[in-house]
Chain A
Amino acid sequence: MYETLKFEESGDIARLTLVRDRINMAMVRELTAVCDHLEDESASKVLVIQGHEGRFCHGIDFAEFRPDQPMDIHGFNKWEKICARIEKLPKAIIALVDGACQGGGAQLMLVADAVIVSPKVAIQFNEVHLGFLPGMATFRLAKNVGLGHAKRLIMQCPVIDAEEAVSLGLCSTIADDLEAALSATVEAFGPIHNVAVTLARRLLNESFSTSFENAIGNFLAAQHRAIHQTPFLDTIRKHQD
């Protein structure tokens, strides 16, 4: 069905494999189709994003650019839109990262709610060394690791190994057996009530760019929505008499 991706669903888990190593517009279009499905039809509670054949993703495919043609910024916008859309999906999003995770791959990793890496992982925001910018990692990364680390990671483009990724807070777990670690992480997420998960993620993502006064209004609006959903109503029913 897809050329650049593989998408499977089993039980509560949807699994998205980046079969093509380099991100091109075909992959963006296919990611859009996957999001349509995940928003409209999927009953999965977890979305796993993973690489293929020992790597996560090497980033953007420069072969689609032509030096003799006008540069097109809109393709970058499409990439940002799909990242932002994945970031809003009503699922817990877990990235399984093995081997190289560079450029756009590292950007994609940042939208996950949890990141599990193998000991062989090599994460690099390498765009600035190549003369362009690491997309909205310029916005997301500082929130994840702090401004000082983000400047180093984005401007000096070091390769981050598994240990450093954990110490920076870029990932939560290093595991030889990624599948076992995935099961443990899914377990840790617990029942995954999609409204509570999605609203919690949204409020957290907004936390660095909103004043407290605005944030508390946002929180109350979100909390009101959460407490009217079945999971919370079930919780309070269990605590009657």
Chain B
Amino acid sequence: MTTVRPRILAVGTSNPPDYYSQQDILDLFRVANPMVRSMFQASHIDGRHLVLPEPGEDGIPREDQENLLRKHRKWSLKLAHEAISKALEQKGLKTSDIDYLCCITSTGMMLPGLTAMFIKHLGFRVNCHRTDVVGMGCNAGLNGLNPTANWCAANPGRNALMVCCEVNSALYVYDDTMATGVVNSLFGDGCAAVLLRAESADEELIPSIVDFYSHIIPDAWGAMRYDWATEHGKFSFYLDRDVPYVLGIHAETPIDGLLGRNGLKRRDIDHWIVHSGGKKVIDAIKYNIGITEHDVRHTVGILKQFGNLGSGSFLFSYQRLVQEGKIKAGDRAVMMTMGPGSTIETALLHW
């Protein structure tokens, strides 16, 4: 009989149907700046699922902030519906079986939040407990997983669902500068839903969530942030060029903290589930905590196929790891997400 612990029972993912290669985006937005073009043409992203409007009168797709917010709302519901259904059907559950719902987004401001919208439209019970994590960026999946797992630990046998829903195409600002080019070349749309429950796991290969460890770098407070771009009348995401290095140099601190207090060494970790932040971010993590290209194969693979999916990226990698079928009983994994703050969040899993 294994201990009753919060466990990850199932993950479901979804993306909007339209897929754009990097070249498609350059053509669609008629990108002329050669530096921006060369950034799109780097080989680490093949393409991304995005929701883009029809081109306007000048041939370029354009949306104002109102339409971007509307798009975020509409596609969050569509994507979440699909991802939630895929996760729940693996365990034969319905949305009405969920007792705690945690929703995460940073790509659109809304009030009431995603949890209220999903309860209205997707069949959750009106007495479902809920938390909305808004505006915490790419690391937010682990900021949400922490209270969700804790709720499970306090309520064994009851079902909790976390949904990371990012419509990054609702953040498009196009002006042919490098600043927006970096952002426009990197982020894709996608949603991941993860089902948690505290139970014992006697037969199935189901990981328990053992611990979390956080680290924030206040000196890099402004390295990733939303600015209001008055000339565009939109929020614009700013990504400092030193972000990969700042995250890299601090990566050891939370990893050593997480492993140290659990009596583990890095060599005891069988799987690394790292957020697909971008090529340079992944390189910085690899060389600073001494993990291999093989360790980040799913992180790199998800980046290549989908781009940076924000808060749900690490769950896409987790899903690939599980589908690969190499996990053995007793294996341990570290989940690691990085984002604004600047923040590094980590979690320890044990099968």
Q: Which residues of A contact B (CB under 8 A)?
A: 39-40, 85, 88, 198-199, 202, 206, 213, 217-218, 220-222, 224-225, 228
Contact = CB atoms under 8 A, between A and B. Distances in A.
Contact of A225 (B42, B248, B279): B248
A220 B283 contact: yes
A200 to B, nearest CB: 12
Interface in B208-238: none
Given A40-B265, A199-B287, A221 B248 contact: yes
A221 B267 contact: no
B290 A221 contact: no
A225 B249 contact: yes
A39 B265 contact: yes
Contacts of B267: 39, 85
Given A39-B265, A39-B267, A40-B265, A221 B284 contact: yes
Contacts of B319: none
B280 A220 contact: yes
Nearest to B246: A224
A217 B283 contact: yes
B284 A224 contact: yes
A206 B43 CA distance: 19
Given A39-B267, A217-B280, A224 B248 contact: yes
Which range holds the interface residue count of chain B? 10 to 19
B131 interface: no
A222 B248 CA distance: 10
Contact of B279 (A198, A199, A217): A217
A221 B265 contact: no
A228 B249 contact: yes
Given A39-B267, A213-B43, 13 more contacts: A40-B265, A202-B287, A206-B293, A217-B280, A218-B287, A220-B280, A221-B244, A221-B280, A221-B283, A221-B284, A221-B286, A224-B249, A225-B249
B19 interface: no
A218 B288 contact: no
A213 B283 contact: no
Contacts of A198: 290
Contacts of A228: 249
Interface string B269-308: 0000000000110011011101001000000000000000
B303 to A, nearest CB: 13
Contacts of B280: 217, 220-221
B20 interface: no
A224 B245 contact: yes
28 contacts: A39-B265, A39-B267, A40-B265, A85-B267, A88-B290, A199-B287, A202-B287, A206-B293, A213-B42, A217-B279, A217-B283, A218-B283, A218-B287, A220-B280, A220-B283, A221-B244, A221-B248, A221-B280, A221-B283, A221-B284, A221-B286, A221-B287, A221-B288, A222-B287, A224-B245, A224-B284, A225-B249, A225-B287
Interface in B1-47: 42-43
A55 B290 CA distance: 34
Contacts of A213: 42-43
B331 to A, nearest CB: 15
Nearest to B289: A225
Nearest to A216: B283
Contacts of B43: 213
Counting from the closest, the 7 A-B pairs by CB-CB distance are: A221-B283, A221-B287, A222-B287, A221-B284, A217-B283, A224-B245, A225-B288
Contacts of A220: 280, 283
B98 to A, nearest CB: 41
A88 B265 CA distance: 15
Query: Which among B42, B280, B283, B290 has the greatest number of chain A C-beta atoms within 10 A?
Result: B283
